[in-house]
């Protein structure tokens, strides 16, 4: 089993404060808080690699994230998840920020627990897509991400080319990428297409706890042949 699951969305930099507040509101609706239950403080690891910063006042912590980017921990009872919010590391020339949730495998436990965790975090992810006006997003783990990078994938080339060269377990594309009619052929035994009010989901028929990397790579090859903008 993988070490962690990640739920990432990419969006343009305008209205960052509103988008960040929307993300916080979504997590709050699921019972998460950024306040450490032991120290009653908020801890942030900045994106520039400086030491961890600790805040007593929530607004100060949020202003720091918006100015510097970074990773915060959110808590819900015995569960903790990491939230990254900051500029895309892939290409600083494009005005893209990313937001991602990640959860470590210490929380996975039984299949029933995995189902509940994934359902909750996927729900957050889908709301992130809507509330941040995301242009691109994915759900995956470190094994899939490594395979994607090996194939030359990045957020920037996914957005610039209007076609990701790799499929994760679940992939979000905003409406400007293509219409569902263009990718109807992707409804196969391996994957399915789902339309949202603000975009399109291409989802492999597998979950983070039971997929095979072979199926991911096969789906990616089908995607390369059938999806728009293929050469």
> Between 149 and 187, whose confidence is greater?
149
Q: What is the reported pLDDT for 214? A: 95
- Flag whether pLDDT at 162 surpasses 80: no
Distance of alpha carbon 108 from alpha carbon 3, whole angstroms? 10
- Judged against a pLDDT cut of 90, whether residue 228 lies above it is answered with no
Note whether 70 and 83 are within 8 A (CB): no
Summarize the confidence of residues 205-217 as an average pLDDT.
94
- 180 vs 103, residue with greater confidence: 103
| Per-residue burial over 151-162, b = 16 or more CB atoms within 10 Å of its CB, e = otherwise | eebbbbebbeee
More confident residue, 206 or 180: 206
Q: How far apart are the first and last CA of the chain?
A: 35
For residues 120 and 70, give the distance between their C-alpha atoms in angstroms, rounded to a whole number.
Answer: 23
pLDDT, tens digit, for every residue of 87-99?
876 555 567 899 9
- Encode pLDDT of 106-151 as tens digits: 899 899 999 999 999 999 999 999 999 999 999 999 999 999 999 9
pLDDT at 230 over 50: no
1-134 domain in CATH 3.90.550?
no
Name the residue ranges covered by the structural domains of the chain: 1-134, 141-231
Q: Which residues share a beta bridge with 112? A: none
* Helical residues (DSSP H) of 31-110, grouped into ranges: 58-68
Over the Cα atoms of the chain, what is R_g?
Answer: 18
């Amino acid at each position: 089993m993988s070490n962690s699951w990640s739920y990432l969305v990419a969006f343009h930099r305008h209205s960052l404060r509103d988008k960040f507040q929307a993300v916080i509101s979504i997590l709050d609706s699921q019972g998460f808080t950024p306040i450490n239950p032991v120290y009653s403080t908020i801890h942030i690891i900045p994106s520039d690699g400086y030491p961890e910063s600790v805040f007593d006042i929530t607004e100060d912590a949020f202003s720091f994230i918006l100015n510097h980017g970074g990773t915060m921990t959110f808590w819900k009872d015995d569960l903790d998840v990491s939230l990254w919010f900051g500029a895309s590391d892939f290409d600083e020339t494009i005005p893209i920020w990313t937001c991602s949730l990640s959860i470590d495998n210490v929380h996975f436990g039984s299949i029933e627990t995995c189902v509940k965790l994934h359902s909750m975090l996927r729900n957050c992810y889908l709301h992130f897509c809507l509330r941040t006006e995301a242009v691109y997003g994915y759900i995956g783990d470190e094994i899939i991400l490594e395979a994607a990078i090996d194939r030359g994938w990045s957020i920037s080339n996914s957005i610039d080319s209007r076609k990701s060269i790799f499929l994760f377990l679940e992939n979000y594309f905003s409406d400007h990428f293509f219409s569902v009619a263009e990718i109807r052929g992707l409804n196969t035994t391996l994957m399915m297409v789902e339309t949202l009010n603000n975009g399109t989901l291409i989802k492999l028929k597998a979950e983070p706890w039971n997929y095979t990397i072979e199926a991911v790579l096969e789906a990616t090859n089908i995607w390369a042949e059938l999806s728009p903008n293929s050469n």
